[in-house]
Structure 1
Amino acid sequence: MSELVTGEAVALELRPARLPSRALAVLLDLVVAVAVYVAVTVALVASTSSLDDAARTALTIATFVLVLVGGPIAVETLSHGRSLGKMACGLRVVRDDGGPIRFRHALVRGLIGVIEILMTFGVIACVASLVSARGRRLGDVFAGTLVVRERVPYASAGFMPPPPPWLAGRFSGLDLSAVPDDLWLAVRQYLARAAQLDPRVGWAMAERLATDVASRTGAPVPREVPPPAYLAAVLQERQAREARKAFAGDSAGGTAAPATAEVPVPPAPTAPAAPSAPAPVTPPPAPSSDGRSEVSRDVRPDGRPGTGFVPPA
């Protein structure tokens, strides 16, 4: 794998693939696509024998478009530039800045590939790849893509140094939208190879790249900041913004968890109160020897209460 990695975790040595390897990858992709197209066509002919000639012609054209044109576009979009032939040859389609391709890139490549590969048997694609400095065909030129090699020898000298800690967040207010992708690529490649360069040559390259970046951002390079440190800090700021944008898109596109209805929690059962002791029952007064109780003996004959003294019998 490459020793240079972008903020989107895409290997970025950006060694352009040469014509032989690209032709072999396209040939493998065409063999798979034609095999699928033949199988689908045979199945359609067997299942639509009762249709008229116009319907069969329409199905044939639709099958051609879906399999030989839509198939490669879908594969490159879902695999981020790795078709079966490219994976077998160790190739990958990336953007000019080294990032992964999107649907629009694969769509432009696929539509133009119908003309320069299918209809002309690859003649236009071969001529364009030979003329281009980075081996790009017309589809790559219009889509802003590049086919690179992923299987490259590993070298430990490509370490990209981080910016100094005292520059953390220093350039968070810069407007980096006007900086083109090819300039970012040049900054990445310089930082990855700064240790291999002559000090004077490396310093001159850093000053030139820092001046170019500053002219696009509208803010000059601070005098107290060395150009290599400025480039590392600005590149880290751009990667941090891309990461935040990617995470914000994933969180916005995710599905929210279904809301659950709140179930009322019943109150905890309280222990039953201890039964209170029964009130003491006063036993009735014992009857006296003449058969009357103490209360009845304390009542006078006229009905008024007595004094409570009972004379002895």
Structure 2
Amino acid sequence: MNADFPAVPPTADVSPAGTGLVTAEAVALDLRPARLGSRAIALGIDILMLGMVSGMVSLVAGVVLAVLPDSLVDDALVGAVMTMVIVVVLLAFPTFVETKTNGRSVGKMAMGLRVIREDGGPIRVRHAFTRALIGLTVEWPGLLLPFLTWAGSLITMIASDKGRRLGDLAAGTLVVHERRPVPFRFVPGMPAALAGWAATADLSAVDDELAAQVRQYLSRAPELSEPYNSSLLRMLAHELGTRVTPPPPPNTPPWLFLCAVLAERRRRSAAQLAAGRLVTERVLPGFGRSGRSPFPGVPVRPASPAR
């Protein structure tokens, strides 16, 4: 192989958008902050849940007031009970739920969101309580200057690069997506010039771990910067060169060598799987099939007789 001819696809300077969080162990967290849209839907679900909780708590409070003597029930007691209902529903309940679920309310569970600390750790009671307290007094329902505080909270969330609301700023938290879309990563196929050599090469020493490293490199090579890209390419090519016999043709670029070994290994695995299925079908016709058509009214084709 000619190390002077890397034949590596051009690299791209990829900087995925994330929270920019770094843990105490200097590990960067690749997390996607939740924005206004997903958080608004989660809030709507949480409001429905709080409405049901409010109905149940109000029912209990009404029963308690009904059984008390009339001499004890006055406007002051009714006002105190209503205040307790508000505190339980809008402060105690959200604090309890987010603490017990590690930052996931019902709405956040439905939307795949989670509240975390600024350092990436799980939230505690004080974080959940601060978020709920700011939400009760300023944000939603915003008992302090409603409408005005709602507008301020909305502007704060839109202006924040991480989508943080006032409660997040006060508690030192942020909301992130738990589920991330998995991007499609292309893995090159067999180079035509190396197909003949690869078909006769001995790949028995190439284990699954090394093959997985090669596959991961080939799929992520365009995202790697220099000199790490070339260094990793040479290291993998050298490792494969010590395990594959005979060696590839002279002046074979390392990139094409990796592609050929991975593609040939994949082809042999597919052929081995197909051969195993053929033997199983001959020995046990119909094994592993339910015998029922997935489409009603369409007959199932019988298995071919063994030959």
TM-score range, shorter chain: 0.3 to 0.5
* Higher RCO (CA 8 Å, separation ≥ 6 residues): 2
Larger C-alpha radius of gyration, 1 or 2?
1
What is the TM-score of this pair, normalised by structure 1?
0.47
What is the TM-score of this pair, normalised by structure 2?
0.47
